Each structure stands twice: as C-alpha cells, then as structure tokens.
Amino acid sequence: MHVDVLVAEIGSTTTVVNAFHNIHTEEPSFLGQGQGVTTVEEGDVTIGLLSALEDLKKNLSVEDLTYDKFLATSSAAGGLKMSVHGLVHDMTVKASKEAALGAGAIVRLVTSGRLKPSDLRRIEELKPSILMIAGGLDHGERDTALYNAEKIAQLPLAMPIVYAGNVDNQEDIMELFKGYPGKVYITDNVYPQVDVLSVEPARKVIQEVFEEHIIHAKGMDKVHELVSGRILPTPGAVMESAKVLKEVLGDVMIIDVGGATTDVHSVTQGSEEISRILLAPEPEAKRTVEGDLGVYVNRKNLMERIGMDKLKMELSVEEEDFMNLPPIPKTEKEKRIILRLTEEAVYTSVDRHAGAVRNLFGESSGRKSVAEGKDLTEIKYIIGTGGALTRLPGTEKILAGIHEQGRGQKLFPKKEAEVLLDRDYLLASLGVLSLEYKESARKLMLKSLGLNGRENA
C-alpha cells in the first residue's frame, strides 16, 4: 500500500504513526493510526517507532507500506531544553520565555539582568539544547545583552545561540561569538518597544534550530534516517494547529495531557475590557507547560495533589494500583485511575495558564482593578488532545467543567465555550503537516474535531 505522508509523534510514553493520503486533492483523508511504547530507555527510540509502524500496517490490513514523505514530532526524553536570558523580568525575559514555550521548548532556566557566576554555573550544569539571549528595546539599552553574550561565549559549551534583543547589538553579538564552536542565530527583538511583544520570528528560528541541531533522545539520529521531512517539538506542532484553527473557528484553547507534562495552548487576544486594565502585554498565541503534571511519568505529583486517602475512597483502589500503572491503560480500573489523574492535570494546568483580575488600593485613588496574565474569557472552543483526553471515556465532562474551576477573579473561559475532542488524536501530526500542506491539514483538523466542512464557526 502506498500513502502520501506518514507523520510520527514520538511522545514520552507512547509513539503513534498516522497515515494520510490524497493530500494534494480537495478531499485529503486520514487512513489510520498505529501505536507503540516509546523506547527511550532501551537506547533507541526507533524500536518504538518501528513497533508503531507495524501496528499501523496491522490496522490497515496491509503487509507493505510505502510513502512519499515521512514527517515527525517529538517530545521524548524531556523534549527541547532551553535557557533564556534577558534584561527586565516582566519585559524582555517574559517575551523571550513566551517565544521559547510557543516553539515547543521546556524552559529550564530563566535569568534577568547581568549573569552572575552562579547563573553561569547553572548554564554549564543544565547544558541547554538552545540558549536565548535578549534584552533592551530596539535602540535602547545595549550593555546587558553584550555582557551576557561575552560571558556565555566563554563557557565550555557548543550549544546553538539565538539572539533576539536590541537590534543595535546584532553586529557586536556576531563579533563576540566569532570562533565559538556552536552556531549563532540572529532574529528580531522579542520586545522591540514598550508594551509590544514580537515573539513569532523567534519561535520560527527556535524550531529551525531544533530541526537542524537537536538529537534530544537516544536513537534520534536513527529517526533522522527514517524521516524524510520535518521534525518539530510536539508542543510546537500543536501550537501550529492552534493557530490554524483560530483562523477558522475563532479564539481557541487546546489542552494536551501527556504522560510527562500537560500543555495548554491558547490563541486569543481576550476581551477589550480586560486589555484596558492589563498590566503587561500577553502574546495572542500562548503556551504553558506544566512539567510536574503527567499522568504516567509524573503521576506521583498528581496523586499528592489529590491525596491518596481521597483517591482510595473515590476509586476503590489501593496505592499499589497507581504504582503499577502501565504506560497505556488497558483494564477498567487502570482507565478509571488515569481519568481521575487527567481531571486534576486539566484543572491545575488551566488555572496556571489563566490570568486574573485583582484590586489595588491607594490612599488617594482608592480601589483600582488591574489584570495580570492571559485572558481566556473570549475562548469559543476548548479542545482536548493527547492520549488521555482522546482515548478515555468521559473526558468531555472534564473539559466542560473548566469554567466552574475559576475561583475568585480568574480569567477562565465562560460556560458558553464549546468542548471539542481531537477524536483521531491528530493535532500534533497535523500541525507539522500544516507547514507544508496547510489547506489539507486544516480540513483534516476539522474532521477530527467533528466539524466536517465547517469553514466559519
């Protein structure tokens, strides 16, 4: 059997391979999916990938499978690890972090101002996949970014460097890194003017660097031999889908509960009312990653949040049932446990993603309301993706209950927001597909969401 495109999603616990055909026509089709256990610990992720391919052939009832193009996304072994170094925490540092997260990175280290000796030691210990330097408005402060670049250039590391600060520093940055063993990338300033974020150019550069340089899990070099097209960080691919869906459906939020992390992507500018009292600008497309909220690798954190006594009472289970969970639940008891952990991961991650209104009191001005963080009140669609939300029964009820979790003056989606599920578990794969075949990817996204032929919801 011959297909147009295969797309693999190599996750922290499971690997799936999706087959697509008729990509060049008006009626693109999703043919089927294969699944395997990700094999990072065996030292070669291609073992799990080949297992998923065999499962796909079995599901398609074919012995041989050929293809024109093979694309992939990956978040195995911790994904894309970055450190971000800017000038002012609430300005350039925040903008740099937004760019990194939106590209699909996990930001492990953030600093503001001049790098201290302890900061430099932490960079050495972390050995980030990519390091970003920012700082200074365009034609504004220059010294901090140049000082930081000089110190970073002296480290015994060879990671790719992305510079996204004051445009006046670009020539000097290249001079400082002359002879540096890693590659240096120059892109637009992430914070060019006061209260202006410009994170998209940096996001694109980070994804390009990821593809060009990063072999971030054991055996990823072999994956490059199999894959004939792009490899994106899985969260970055989901963000690409979110942006495509925003064009069609309006303001959207996508929640991806995984084995190791839970990601929330929102594409919305929020309400005019909240934007007028917002203390600092927020990007239209925002991603938060909760590295402590995963239903397999990090299930202990979720168990502690809920409380073991409460879990035993609610689910009629014992603690060893949690400890012995397989990566892919099979029994009814296992599914019941994962569903409860998924609920906690969803509500906690959205609470962290959402902004809030708070009141300030002054002697002369009295009470003044201000807003901080992401305004989700204009979200029209809440979309669930990832294995847990798309494969377990009852997840629509979890997503429909999000609006009830907004305590105090949190800026949560309203009750009217419609819940959709990525029924075919395709949004990550279609995100990478959209970079080359946007129209076909968009149609397949709507089909997976149960919105066939819906052009303007």
Q: Provide the pLDDT for residue 168.
A: 97
- Give yes or no: residues 109 and 251 share one domain: no
Q: Provide the pLDDT for residue 366.
A: 66
* More confident position, 260 or 380: 380
Residue 43 pLDDT exceeds 80: no
Q: Provide the pLDDT for residue 387.
A: 87
- Give yes or no: residues 41 and 109 share one domain: no
- Whether 75 and 11 have beta carbons less than 8 Å apart is answered as yes
3-state secondary structure at position 4: strand
pLDDT band at 441 (very low <50, low <70, confident <90, very high): very high
- Give yes or no: residues 345 and 241 share one domain: yes
Q: Provide the pLDDT for residue 146.
A: 97
Structural domain includes residue 457: no
The CATH number of the domain holding residue 8 is 3.30.420.40
Structural domain includes residue 410: yes
Q: What is the CA radius of gyration of the chain?
A: 22
Cα 432 from Cα 231, distance rounded (Å):
8
pLDDT band at 233 (very low <50, low <70, confident <90, very high): confident
Structural domain includes residue 456: no
Cα 131 from Cα 77, distance rounded (Å):
18
- Give yes or no: residues 269 and 377 share one domain: yes
User: Residue 9: how many CA atoms within 13 Å on its side-chain side?
Assistant: 27
- Whether 106 and 82 have beta carbons less than 8 Å apart is answered as yes
Q: What is the mean pLDDT of residues 85-111?
A: 87
Q: Provide the pLDDT for residue 218.
A: 52
Q: Provide the pLDDT for residue 452.
A: 77
Residue 55 structural domain: 2-77+217-226
* More confident position, 148 or 79: 148
Query: Which residues are CB-contacts of 219 (< 8 A; sequence separation ≥ 6)?
Result: 39, 40, 43, 44, 45, 46, 47
pLDDT (tens digit per residue) in 123-174? 999 999 899 999 999 999 999 999 999 999 999 999 999 999 999 999 999 9
Strand partners, 267: 252, 285
The CATH number of the domain holding residue 373 is 3.30.420
Residue 212: closest CA among 177, 160, 261 = 160
DSSP code for 19:
E
- Give yes or no: residues 370 and 259 share one domain: yes
Q: Provide the pLDDT for residue 290.
A: 85
Q: Provide the pLDDT for residue 92.
A: 86
- Give yes or no: residues 29 and 14 share one domain: yes
- Give yes or no: residues 441 and 295 share one domain: yes
pLDDT (tens digit per residue) in 314-363? 999 998 898 888 888 889 999 999 999 999 999 999 999 999 998 877 66
Directed axis angle between helix 332-353 and helix 308-315, to 10°? 130
Residue 210 pLDDT exceeds 80: no
Cα distances (Å, whole numbers) of residue 353 to 178, 288, 347: 40, 6, 10
Report the mean per-residue pLDDT for the chain: 89
Residue 226 pLDDT exceeds 80: no
* More confident position, 456 or 11: 11
Residue 133: closest CA among 111, 155, 173, 162 = 162
- Give yes or no: residues 88 and 204 share one domain: yes
- Give yes or no: residues 209 and 222 share one domain: no
pTM for the predicted model, two decimal places: 0.83
Residue 132: closest CA among 80, 195, 77 = 80
Q: Provide the pLDDT for residue 27.
A: 95
Structural domain includes residue 453: no
Residue 161: closest CA among 129, 136, 189 = 129
pLDDT (tens digit per residue) in 51-60? 999 999 999 9
Cα 44 from Cα 172, distance rounded (Å):
41
Cα distances (Å, whole numbers) of residue 403 to 43, 193, 375, 377: 43, 35, 13, 10
Q: Provide the pLDDT for residue 456.
A: 47
Cα 432 from Cα 441, distance rounded (Å):
9
The total number of residues shown for the chain amounts to: 457
Q: Provide the pLDDT for residue 457.
A: 43
Q: Provide the pLDDT for residue 454.
A: 61
- Give yes or no: residues 143 and 284 share one domain: no
User: Which alpha helices (DSSP H) does 154-284 contain, by range?
Assistant: 170-176, 200-213, 220-226, 234-249, 272-275
* The pair of three-digit structure tokens given for residue 3, joined into one six-digit string: 């297909």
Structural domain includes residue 341: yes
Residue 407 pLDDT exceeds 90: no
- Give yes or no: residues 94 and 50 share one domain: no
Count of domains observed in the chain: 3
Q: Provide the pLDDT for residue 161.
A: 96
- Give yes or no: residues 120 and 170 share one domain: yes
Q: Provide the pLDDT for residue 361.
A: 73
Question: Domain boundary residue among 226, 249, 264?
Answer: 226
